[in-house]
Structure 1
Amino acid sequence: MATPRPPAQALFRRLFVINGLVYAVGTLVLAVSPATVSSPVVLAEVPVLVVGLTLMLAANGLLLRRSLEPLDALTTLMKRVDLLRTGDRLAGSGNSDLAHLIDTFNAMLDRLEAERSASSAHALAAQEGERQRIARELHDEIGQSLTVVLLGLKRVVDRAPSGLKDELRDVQESVRASLDEVRQVARRLRPGVLEDLGLHAALSALSSDLSQRSGTRVTRAIDPDLPDLGTDVELVLYRIAQESLTNIARHAAATRAELSLTTDGRRLALRITDNGRGGVSREGAGIRGMRERALLVGARLVIDSPPGEGTCVRLVVPDIVNRSLHP
């Protein structure tokens, strides 16, 4: 099997052959045509030379442009490529010399996306582990310490003189509010409801939490017959829904939101919309984290946010049949 020529050598050979053919055809035409050139050149022969040179340059330019046209498409792909938006590839062309270059570039993108996905998986796994550790410490240490403080305050309130009872009750309520906040933070860090009750209950809890925190009315439409998706897919769906709802509470200034999770038997679609201000033009760390999580399960994430028309986050997980068969 012959070893393929290096792209630079192959391109040089193609250009050399094209130019040689153009000059050979031009020479042949001049040789068989009745046109002659005197020495020195007379004025009447100048138009013949100009026309011949123009035709040769035009033919040469046309052939070279068609040969190098794939390079323009390759340059455009290089400018727009983003490893968080997978599948952007350049189709091979009839130009066999540049087809090798295009195939090599596509293979490089495949390797980079695979490496990015693997490194993201390790990073996100470490992040989840750290979240669980912090959640346990908040619940087991800080939560228990605040509980002990509450019990001690209750005994003090019972024994305190009437003039101090009101102030001590205020302190008691502040500690109780702090304990509730610690528990909420722990729940957000470690989705215990996802582990204990499943994805449907976890998404419902997220929606209720948003309504309580921001007053945004959340409508839910969750398919009751979801297949067994596996821990990884469920965690990705939960985290992306959590980040989307958190963004609504913090930035959207929305009064209504909708969360839906539906399946057509082959694909699973998570959709979160709101009627807020929209206009998300710059993707911060939160959205990039959502894209990285989507890559882990081969899902496609689309965010549509026209100014003044709210935001729509849509995540599509393909091939859920095989996922449910092989969790």
Structure 2
Amino acid sequence: MGRHQLSLYWKVCLTNGVVFLLGSLALAFSPMRVSEQVLLSEAVVLAVGLGAMFALNALLLRLSLAPVDKVIRQMDAIRMPEPGHRLDVPASRSGARLVRSYNAMLGRLESERSTSNANALAAQEAERHRIAQELHDEIGQNLTVVLLGLKQLESRIPDDLTDELSLIRESARTGLDDVRRVARRLRPGVLEDLGLHSALAALCTDLTTVGPLQVRRIFGRGLPQLNHQTELVIYRIAQEALTNVARHAQANNVTLSLTKIGDNAVLEVTDDGRGGAEIVPGSGIGGMRERALLIGADLMITSAPRQGTEIRLTVPLASATTPDPALSIQTDDVSAAAAGHQEDS
């Protein structure tokens, strides 16, 4: 169809040619003539003829060019279209081709963005895994050796230095605990070993140690087993949301819930903090949205000044309970690359 169809340029030229040809034929074969000194009746006929030609020309051009204006307005208005957002295909052939091409372009951009996000997030997880492993195997083991050495020295030093040695041991033990906590946050081993509910419960427990926060967690029944990628996205979004509560919300109470509503798994993190002010660029909101898009989930953030914040992630169970082979391959490839880089270094 597209190979033999006229371009928009030739359609405009032919439209103008047809209009002026019709006007010329009307003047040539009609009984109306134009005198040297134009009469009023002749002027009226000429004006009506020119008006009709202009109207017909405008109508024909509008039918061909209106989709162009529509696409231009859409491109000006949209900076990052939502997934699945498409223009309606008009009736005219040229307009239909243009709109279909534009919709196809949006589809390619969404696919490329999804692949790029998947690669970036997979690389991020692989790097977190590598750093956590180094913290555990190197810094953690070194601090353990220091603690053992200090314990051996405890019986060999004068009594007046015992208190100082105890302080040093306590500092080393605190440092070891901090390293382990950071490693757990970088690589959620509890998620792999005990499952999503236990991992979310551990996040809530960690949050209570950073301030006077009352944390309530709710886990609904009937939630099916989710694939690993979905669990990881839910965990990371919950982690980021709770981190924002601890850093920015100035809240006294926070609730984390994971329930099954209809055909969706719904994660909600709500607090009674100041609201509004924490929803700013750089607070992790962009990363949360990208992760949600990665699994086809919907992320809604409701925040008003002095009314707290609610973060709601809705995950369709149809895609959350089936593995994503392509994404798993990408994650494994990036993890292997990161491991290879670690060996080289």
1:4 counterpart letter in structure 2:
R
- Which consecutive residues of structure 1, in runs of 5 or more, have no partner in the other structure? none
Partners of 1:317 and 1:27 in 2: how far apart? 66
Distance 1:47 1:126 in 2: 75
Alpha-carbon separation, structure 2, partners of 1:309 and 1:16: 61
Q: Which amino acid aligns with 2:158?
A: P
- Equivalent position of 1:143 in the other structure: 140
The alignment status of 1:130 with 2:127, answered yes or no, reads yes
Q: Is the 8 A contact 2:67 2:90 kept in 1?
A: yes
Q: Give the aligned residue type for 1:288.
A: G
Residue 216 of structure 2 is matched in structure 1 by 219
Residue 261 (structure 2) aligns with: 264
Shift of 1:44: 6.4
Name the CA distance, whole Å, in 2 between partners of 1:312 and 1:41: 77
Q: Corresponding residue for 1:297? A: 295
Distance 2:271 2:13 in 1: 60
Cα-to-partner distance string for 1:283-315 (whole Å, 9 max, x where unaligned):
438333223322332222233444554433222
1:255-309 Cα offsets, whole Å, 9 max, x none, are: 3322222223522222223333324565438333223322332222233444554
| 1:4 and 2:3 matched | yes
User: Which AA in structure 2 matches 1:268?
Assistant: A
- Cα offset, 1:189, TM superposition: 0.5
Alignment of 1:92-241 (within 5 A): 92-241=89-238
For 1:171, give the aligned amino acid. Answer: I
TM-score by length of 1: 0.84
Q: Give percent identity, aligned residues only.
A: 51
Aligned length: 323
Assess, with a 3 A threshold, how the Cα gap between structure 1 residues 245 and 82 changes in structure 2: closer, same or farther. farther
Q: Which of the pair has the greater relative contact order for Cα pairs under 8 Å at 6+ separation?
A: 2
Cα 1:272/1:301, change in 2 over 3 Å: same
- 1:167 alignment partner, SS class: helix
Residue of 312, 316, 319 corresponding to 1:314: 312
* Amino acid paired to 1:311: T
How high is the TM-score relative to the length of structure 2? 0.80
**Mean CA deviation greater in 174-183 or 30-39:** 30-39
CA–CA distance in 2 between the matches of 1:310 and 1:40? 81
Q: Which moved more, 1:229-238 or 1:141-150?
A: 141-150
* Counterpart-to-counterpart distance in 2, 1:315 and 1:225: 18
Aligned AA (1:189): L
Q: 1:279 to 1:226 in 2, by over 3 A?
A: same
Q: 2:255, 2:270 within 8 Å by CA — same for their partners in 1?
A: yes
Q: Any idea what the Cα deviations from partners look like across 1:209-257, whole Å, max 9, x if unmatched? A: 2232143333322223321111111111111111121122222333332
Q: Shift in Å at residue 95 of structure 1?
A: 1.8
CA distance in structure 2 between the partners assigned to 1:306 and 1:19 by the alignment? 57
Answer yes or no: is the 8 Å Cα contact 2:67–2:98 preserved in 1: no
Given the superposition, is the C-alpha separation of residues 224 and 145 from structure 1 closer, same or farther in structure 2, using an over 3 Å criterion? farther
Asked if the contact 1:277–1:310 (Cα under 8 Å) also holds between the matched residues in 2, the reply is: yes
Q: CA–CA distance in 1 between the matches of 2:84 and 2:53?
A: 42
**RMSD in angstroms over aligned alpha carbons?**
3.0
Q: How far did residue 182 of structure 1 move?
A: 0.6
CA contact (8 A) 1:121 1:296 kept: yes
Structure 2 unaligned spans of 5+: 325-345
Instruction: Letter of the 1:263 partner, please give it.
Output: K
